[in-house]
Structure 1
Amino acid sequence: MKKLVVVAVFACCLFSKSTQAQQGKIDPTFNTYDNGLIGDGFDNTVRAIALQADGNLIVGGDFLNFNGGSFPYLQRINPDGEIDTGFNLNGNFNNKVYAIAIQPNGKIIVGGSFTAFSGNSVNRLVRLNQDGSLDAAFSTASGLNNIVYDIDLYPDGSAIVVGSFTKFGDSTASRIAKILPDGTLDASFSTGVGANSLIEKVIIQPDGKIILAGTFTKFNNQNKNSMVRLNQDGSIDDGFNIGDGFDNKVTAFDLQTDGKIVVVGTFLHYNGVAVNRMVRLLPDGMIDSGFQSGSGFGDDTLYTVKIDDNGNIMVGGAFTGSYKGIAVNRLVFLNPDGTLKSDFDIGAGPASSSVLTLAKSADDFWFVGGSFSAFEGQNQGRLAKIDSGGVLDVGFLTPGVGFDNSVLKILPLENEECMVFGSFSKFNNHPSSRIARLLEDGSSDSNFNVGNSGANNTIRNAVQQKDGKIIIAGNFTTYNGNLCSRLARILPNGDFDATFDTGTAANSIVYALAIQPDQKIIVAGNFTKFNNQTVGRIVRLMPDGSTDTSFNTGLGADAIIDVIAIQQDGKILAGGRFSTFNGVLSPHIVRLNADGTIDTDFAVGAGFDKNVYAIAFQSDDKIIVGGSFLTYKGVLQKRITRLLPNGNLDLSFESGSGFSKGDVRAILIQPNDRILVGGTFSGTFNGVQSFRILRTLSTGARDTAFESYLNSTLFAMTLTTNQKLLIGGNFNSVSGSAKHRIARLYLCTDGTTWSHNSWSRGFPSAGKELYFEDDYASLTTTNACSCAIDSGKIVTLLADNSLSLTYNYTGAGTLVLENSASLYQSDNDITNTGMVHLKRITPPIRRLDYTYWSSPVHDFKLGDVSPETLPDKLLSFSGKWIYEDKESSMKNAIGYAIRGPQSYSTTEAQTYTAVFKGVPNNGTINGETVSEGKKYLVGNPYPSAIDADVFLQKNAFLGGTIKFWTHNTGIAPNGKFYVYSSDDYAAYNALGGIKAQSGGEIPNGKVVSGQSFLVTAMANGTVFFDNSMRIAAADQNNQFFKTSKPNKATSEKRRIWLNLDSNKGAFKQILLGYASDASNGYDGKYDEPSANTNAFVDFYSINEGKNFVIQARGLPFETSDVIPLGYQTSVEENFTITLDQKDAFFEKKSVYLQDKKLNVICNLKEKPYTFVSQKGIFNDRFVLRFAEKTLAINTFEKTKNTLIIYQSQKEIIVESFDFNIQKILVYDGLGRLIFEQQTNQNKVVVSNLKPRNQVLIFKIKKEGGKIQTQKIVF
């Protein structure tokens, strides 16, 4: 009892200190491919469905995409909802499809508002071959002059088309036309002046007569309100008498086999009789009084109706309200007499959107199309498949993301990976037959079970042995082609383990598995034979797969065993659908001794009234049981309860009224004894709505700190080793976010308190809530769920370490972040309340140096950054420098330039420590609203580093480069002011970074806490920050201005850094590289123009007349590429161009600098290039090139390929070293010949071309007629 009291007291402490952050949120970093932007069917309205003889569906409508792929207006899908890859339209429609009809020969006639298909004029009517190609024999180029709304066919392939058109080619066709099989108009079909308004629907009766409906009031000048029947020749059939007809439009109708007609629309009366939107007519047009539609539909339009072979009637539309006084929602199924079918239940159905079209398959499924994006809570883009009872087929229209069918079991692996099992056959649209291994990020492990077929049927359960091997069970009979009747063992790489020999194994489905500490395996399910021996649905196996004959259960269970759980003492609990075990009454639960006999000390009495599906143990050995039951031992316990270790009901369990409907299918106990529950339930738990997942406190009361909901069943749960929750099932939406059948959730699973120099429940770790009741002087890198510090207590996070929290930081104490320490949080919705003291140490500065700062805490006074700085030396920058009041609060995400303390020397530099005190910023932060063309000083608003690449991606209106002030050059008096002799900005963009001075550091894309930087607005916008930009790593926040020394070059990038420096200290660096999404023109993401802020020297590449310090070029890389380089100098001295760094891509490639003035080429990979320069601007002297072969000339090099082309001033020199040039042809980038010259010399000067910074192509004709081609930029 003392143990129980201690646990209870600790639990109370946890609850009283528990954070208010909402747990159960989806982890967006897991399987980011399943991000809601792709998949989930059609992206706009489905208006037409036609079923082919093979069951495939032709679908048309307003959509442009299907499952993320571009398929404008028409697509063919398989009965399971996947794209039919054999249907190749080889082009697109240019507008909507309204009607589809399939001819007896399988060809497809399509009508709509389109005028072209695959570039061919088809004018609203076209016929396709069975493979989707255009049938050129069906010619409708002259076509119809307005929309085709419906089509019906004669057996000979002729078609009646109706719509809003008035002409077919030059012939009058007033909203109806008969089209012959070749696509021409049947002139013998005469309707006179036809309809005076829209015809929306046509059906040809078996006798060839034609029924039309729509909004028309006259047909061939006769009053025909919304409906008429024609003879085969187009004349009105007077035998069909509608009298006054309908008082509003008819949208649809269908024929019964007896000739009766069910009509729907917006009408309220027919021939003066109130019918409210639906009526059944006799073949002569009279009302069928035997149709019991009563008062009809209460409101809104009925758009479609379809009658099945049994005379049952499916009706869809926009209606809600009621039908005959009974609430309905957009889809109803009626008996042949018009009464509602009582066994038809679609739940939420299409929610608030319309049903517009229906089709029925030969296997009694209904396809429902319309404008809805969800059906019964499932993401079901505009098309759903239901059975005759209204049950949604959740496997239909698989979106190609996540798993395509149910996940039934998840096993966590030590490296944050997981094994997933179920009835699926694909993951993220790749084959994955009932088994998959996912990496930590939720992507598929391509090294698992490579080239193998997996299981041939469902895997329902799995357990992992100590050696890493996994035993799988279910309904499969082969695995990777190996016979294994419903049970197998696989190796860690997915291969079949033939050493696990179970003989013929189970003769029916295996549902449950459990491993004992001695590695023996309990196997249970619905089988009655195992390895040809009669058993009672449960056996125990030895680790090698052989049957353990010492385990004797007698007759065993009389029905399915769904779940097995092994207690700490080795006793075995079994739950399921059985009533007796070994002939003893054991309603749905039994406990066995280690030898298989019934444990009579576990008194179940009358047991459960219905099935048990889940069993789990709390730390005090109490038993949590879930299922479909409503009572235990006659006491009301709806679907969840807790039993004492002796089998008695635990009356202290606070589940209240339990679950109102559905089943509990999964239970998971957290380390802190809170209970995660999942299943099919969708009603209430103890009076509060709960949708398929919830968490209770250890007491059974609902845990309000956890909130999540699913739109379909949860079958499996497990905790990863870093204490995140993996869930699997049939759902495709988690709390409104798309996740298909597997997801990972954030939550806290335990807690530990620092008090009296010890931790109450072990050291901090992932998933734990941290509570500090005493000071803690040396916290190192820690991952935790949340953190709270008691009043007056101080916790110090050491330099270069990080505290990463899933949720919030609270308490009245203080968290001290030493220099470069980080507080990292991933959840944007968290609000912190705890205080931090964040220290930030600058590089050495002098009194007159300015440092660019940004506050990582809320409401920090500007003057407190550097209290000794003069009050007029605090500035912000928004296109111009603005003096700021030292008493004002620093604004989030705004940068400030603050001069050094007044007590600092003007000549000797020293470091400065700023301490930011306040509540740390977190989540989405909007900074300054910027105007196009202006520069702004913005800052990292967080107490952790941010990733500059992500920042730039999410602020696309900013120029692609950010700049950091380094204040490294000396300052000198200039009149009454002190100025820097050279501006010192290091720069970074998506290509990489450049340093500001020799020996400096190249920005690597990490902006540390407290740092601000310059950006340029390319368009109007508001600077935006969120936690996706933040960096958790402990070593990424450790230097001001940048985080670390230059990264080692990586093989994925293709970059070189060039330095220009003088023997007197002038310096400039440029970065050149190649990127997959760059072009050879200007790219704001990659290219940074030179600002020419250096007082002594400027160095740049040249492109399109502009100078760049960072320039990217497009891939693929070609060795023939040349890059013009330029420089400007205000001093006369010796300069050196050096290859500073290169990525691995250039390890085996040459990098040459061509000096066109001196006609030399230097291999920069072997030596720097030194030259003497006068003052001035020199844009035509140097070219960077990548020729592979060179010829040494003195200390420099010329190309060994015997031909060079280079620029000198405004002339181009073409020089050959071993042949005379016969002819020169020069083309521009568009392929136009712009220069031609005959010659017979080895050196030619081209002097009459105007420099345009463009690529020129030289074709040089040699002696003997051979032609050599080279490109230059001129």
Structure 2
Amino acid sequence: MINIIKYICVGVLMLNLYACSNKLEYGPDPYAGGRESVDVVFGEAAPMPSQAKPGSEVVFDVRGLLKYKDQLKFYINNIPAEIKAVSDSTLTSIVPENCSTGGVKVVVDGQIFAGPMLPIIGKISVDPTFQSGVGANGPIYSILRTSANQLFIGGSFTDYNGNAASSKISGIARITNNGEFVRGMQFGQGITGAITSMSEIANKDILISGNLTQYDTIKLVRNMTTISPTGALQVQSTPILNLTSDPAKSNLIAPVFNGGTLSPIVKSFYQNNKVTAVGQFGYYTSNYYTRSTFDNILIDNFPMGGVVRMSANGTLDDSYFVNKNTLPYKGFDGVNGVVNDAFLQDDGKLILVGAFTRFNNTQSANYIVRLKDDGNFDADFQVGSGANGFISDISYSNLTKRYLVTGAFTVFNGKPANGMALLHEDGSLDTDFHSLGFTSGTPNYSVQLSNGMTIVTGSFTKYNNVVREGFMVVDGKGNLVKDYNNTGKLVGTISDALEGTNSLGQKTVTLVGIIQSFNGKSNLGNIVRLTLLD
């Protein structure tokens, strides 16, 4: 016990001596040599003017710059901007020529100070007359204007601008030309699944397709069906086999359109009283009512490799895309990959684009192929070796008679084509068009407008080394169009677009898809309308 106390006393004595020492060594200061703190602060006042054109002077409310005036760098939307003057409370800058809407920042000795957003004035802007509010609460994949000037949107959403509280909304809605929700439509419970494509057919009904297993309370939908202009599913009383004594089980309320696919449809078309569908499906299917009972609906499947053509009521057209050299007959195998998009020409020929390299296991088809009006491979389509990477999208211009394809490729038919290629109607490359190169991403959607310009969207951050974050407007040569590239960053994916005119008589383009934000504005609800001034 005495030894234990002795050791404790010695230990306490050593601690006291150590604590009293003034010669302790702590090692080097970990913060020595750091940069001096820079006291630069942006104020709350808006820039003067609050929006500006390229080449104009703008005064920004920012303090603490004067003593660093020889070390400053200033940027507008990540583009270096000329500093005209600096005071204790302001910085005056010249808006760069290729500038677009975005945030400003000051850089002092490598330290970055973020400032406000500066809207750039140009000929394209978000349309303030479009009253979509918070829009849809899910993706919008398709937008359609009918011959009666009705607007429909389809996708995978359950609300539009807060109207779900009073109206059932599921995958489809009608809106006014100003973007407002139209009440009183007969959608019932809407769709179960998602709508990816819509077309108006001859009797003014609307063909909808996608991943659809049910419309309203009817569960006999096979990924496509028809609805009336009022939104009601087109149904009829269909005779079925009745093995009971209950006469009510002798008929079934079923969709008028009796046809579809076993797997989702990417795109569908209506032309000359025929319906053409494209997707990742392996079978055409229809409900076989003749041998069905009220409680057991039989289906009839026919092998089809991702392309099928039907009559207007859904009956299979076995003269299209069907190999009759084998018994039993079956559809062609189609492409050996994924179809991302398609376009049906006026002459019935169908162009497919996507991630595939062969058609029917025999013909080379590097990410693009055209089918004749009977569904056979079209060797006259002069795309040559095609693309060297997948194609996301194809658009057509009635004005120029050209196709624009976009995607993750750098070469098309042996020629440089960084993400974009313009094709003549015969598939040959338009050599007057040149993609000037994308940075940090690729284009994945385009719409060729009636004025000859093209909107291109995607994941890119620059085009031709000019900041264009996910959105740009190019001309028929592939150049950025002056005054039409003033808008800011697009975050999201565009699926469809529709040209129109607003209440002020201005040309508009409505974009739908999965849109998180655009031009500094969020909560757009996956739909935004732009105005394009002449």
Same fold (TM over 0.5): yes
Tell me how far apart the structure 2 counterparts of residues 168 and 301 of structure 1 sit (CA, whole Å). 34
Give 1:171's aligned residue: 302
Among candidates 199, 202, 208, match of residue 339 of structure 2: 199
Letter of the structure 2 residue corresponding to residue 177 of structure 1: V
Distance 1:200 1:139, change over 3 A: farther
CA contact (8 A) 1:346 1:376 kept: no
Tell me how far apart the structure 2 counterparts of residues 355 and 125 of structure 1 sit (CA, whole Å). 22
CA contact (8 A) 1:343 1:389 kept: no
Letter of the structure 2 residue corresponding to residue 242 of structure 1: V
Give 2:350's aligned residue: 210
CA contact (8 A) 2:391 2:406 kept: yes
Structure 2 residue matching 1:65: 3-state secondary structure? coil
Structure 1 position 49 matched with structure 2 position 143:
yes
Among candidates 211, 220, 224, match of residue 365 of structure 2: 224
Structure 1 position 150 matched with structure 2 position 267:
yes
Tell me how far apart the structure 1 counterparts of residues 404 and 154 of structure 2 sit (CA, whole Å). 24
Structure 1 position 117 matched with structure 2 position 222:
no
* 1:1119-1157 superposed Cα distances (whole Å, 9 cap, x missing partner): xxxxxxxxxxxxxxxxxxxxxxxxxxxxxxxxxxxxxxx
Structure 2 residue matching 1:361: 3-state secondary structure? strand
Structure 1 residue matching 2:439: 3-state secondary structure? coil
Tell me how far apart the structure 1 counterparts of residues 391 and 501 of structure 2 sit (CA, whole Å). 28
Give 1:185's aligned residue: 316
Tell me how far apart the structure 1 counterparts of residues 431 and 185 of structure 2 sit (CA, whole Å). 46
Give 1:129's aligned residue: 228
Among candidates 200, 205, 226, match of residue 107 of structure 1: 205
Tell me how far apart the structure 1 counterparts of residues 453 and 178 of structure 2 sit (CA, whole Å). 24
TM-score w.r.t. the length of structure 2 is 0.62
Tell me how far apart the structure 1 counterparts of residues 202 and 473 of structure 2 sit (CA, whole Å). 29
Tell me how far apart the structure 2 counterparts of residues 104 and 310 of structure 1 sit (CA, whole Å). 28
Letter of the structure 2 residue corresponding to residue 75 of structure 1: A
CA contact (8 A) 1:175 1:198 kept: no
Q: Aligned runs of 1:54-93 on 2, under 5 Å? A: 54-68=148-162, 69=164, 70-93=168-191
Distance 1:271 1:384, change over 3 A: same
1:300 Cα shift? Answer: 2.5
CA contact (8 A) 1:43 1:66 kept: yes
Q: Aligned runs of 1:1052-1063 on 2, under 5 Å? A: none
Structure 2 residue matching 1:262: 3-state secondary structure? strand
CA contact (8 A) 2:335 2:359 kept: yes
Q: Aligned runs of 1:291-330 on 2, under 5 Å? A: 291-295=433-437, 297-317=438-458, 319-330=459-470
Letter of the structure 2 residue corresponding to residue 331 of structure 1: F
1:116 Cα shift? Answer: 1.1
* 1:246-265 superposed Cα distances (whole Å, 9 cap, x missing partner): 22221211222343211112
CA contact (8 A) 1:316 1:356 kept: no
Tell me how far apart the structure 2 counterparts of residues 187 and 245 of structure 1 sit (CA, whole Å). 30
Give 1:254's aligned residue: 395
CA contact (8 A) 1:93 1:118 kept: yes
Letter of the structure 1 residue corresponding to residue 512 of structure 2: G
1:354 Cα shift? Answer: 2.5
* 1:478-499 superposed Cα distances (whole Å, 9 cap, x missing partner): xxxxxxxxxxxxxxxxxxxxxx
Tell me how far apart the structure 2 counterparts of residues 133 and 200 of structure 1 sit (CA, whole Å). 30
CA contact (8 A) 1:330 1:355 kept: no
Give 2:511's aligned residue: 368
Tell me how far apart the structure 2 counterparts of residues 89 and 362 of structure 1 sit (CA, whole Å). 27
Among candidates 413, 416, 422, match of residue 280 of structure 1: 422
Tell me how far apart the structure 1 counterparts of residues 468 and 193 of structure 2 sit (CA, whole Å). 33
CA contact (8 A) 2:259 2:313 kept: no
Structure with the bigger RCO (C-alpha within 8 Å, sep 6+) is: 2
Give 1:348's aligned residue: 488
CA contact (8 A) 1:368 1:384 kept: yes
Tell me how far apart the structure 1 counterparts of residues 450 and 203 of structure 2 sit (CA, whole Å). 23
Give the alignment's Cα RMSD to 1 decimal. Answer: 2.2
Tell me how far apart the structure 2 counterparts of residues 177 and 357 of structure 1 sit (CA, whole Å). 22
CA contact (8 A) 1:123 1:140 kept: no
Tell me how far apart the structure 1 counterparts of residues 489 and 186 of structure 2 sit (CA, whole Å). 32
Tell me how far apart the structure 2 counterparts of residues 267 and 118 of structure 1 sit (CA, whole Å). 42
1:104 Cα shift? Answer: 4.1
Structure 2 residue matching 1:372: 3-state secondary structure? strand
Letter of the structure 2 residue corresponding to residue 229 of structure 1: R
1:362 Cα shift? Answer: 5.3
TM-score w.r.t. the length of structure 1 is 0.27
Letter of the structure 2 residue corresponding to residue 360 of structure 1: E
Tell me how far apart the structure 1 counterparts of residues 477 and 156 of structure 2 sit (CA, whole Å). 35
CA contact (8 A) 1:214 1:249 kept: yes
CA contact (8 A) 1:60 1:75 kept: yes
* 1:188-228 superposed Cα distances (whole Å, 9 cap, x missing partner): 11252222222222212122222111222221221112111
Structure 2 residue matching 1:44: 3-state secondary structure? coil
1:86 Cα shift? Answer: 4.5
CA contact (8 A) 1:212 1:228 kept: yes
* 1:1173-1215 superposed Cα distances (whole Å, 9 cap, x missing partner): xxxxxxxxxxxxxxxxxxxxxxxxxxxxxxxxxxxxxxxxxxx
Letter of the structure 1 residue corresponding to residue 412 of structure 2: Y
Distance 1:56 1:325, change over 3 A: farther
Tell me how far apart the structure 2 counterparts of residues 370 and 252 of structure 1 sit (CA, whole Å). 14
Tell me how far apart the structure 1 counterparts of residues 486 and 533 of structure 2 sit (CA, whole Å). 8
Letter of the structure 1 residue corresponding to residue 172 of structure 2: L
1:41 Cα shift? Answer: 0.8
Letter of the structure 1 residue corresponding to residue 464 of structure 2: K
1:346 Cα shift? Answer: 5.2
Give 1:489's aligned residue: none
Distance 1:346 1:107, change over 3 A: farther
Give 1:40's aligned residue: 134
Give 1:383's aligned residue: 527
Distance 1:163 1:45, change over 3 A: same
CA contact (8 A) 2:258 2:313 kept: no
* 1:906-958 superposed Cα distances (whole Å, 9 cap, x missing partner): xxxxxxxxxxxxxxxxxxxxxxxxxxxxxxxxxxxxxxxxxxxxxxxxxxxxx
CA contact (8 A) 2:193 2:213 kept: yes
Distance 1:130 1:143, change over 3 A: same
CA contact (8 A) 1:244 1:270 kept: yes
Structure 1 position 242 matched with structure 2 position 359:
no
1:162 Cα shift? Answer: 0.5
1:73 Cα shift? Answer: 1.4
Tell me how far apart the structure 2 counterparts of residues 261 and 118 of structure 1 sit (CA, whole Å). 38
CA contact (8 A) 2:453 2:475 kept: yes
Number of aligned pairs?
349
Letter of the structure 2 residue corresponding to residue 370 of structure 1: G
Tell me how far apart the structure 1 counterparts of residues 280 and 485 of structure 2 sit (CA, whole Å). 37
Distance 1:327 1:277, change over 3 A: same
Tell me how far apart the structure 2 counterparts of residues 361 and 157 of structure 1 sit (CA, whole Å). 27
1:241 Cα shift? Answer: 2.5
Distance 1:331 1:51, change over 3 A: farther
1:52 Cα shift? Answer: 2.1
Q: Aligned runs of 1:455-470 on 2, under 5 Å? A: none
1:281 Cα shift? Answer: 1.2
CA contact (8 A) 1:122 1:139 kept: no
Distance 1:89 1:310, change over 3 A: same
Structure 1 position 333 matched with structure 2 position 473:
yes
1:372 Cα shift? Answer: 1.8
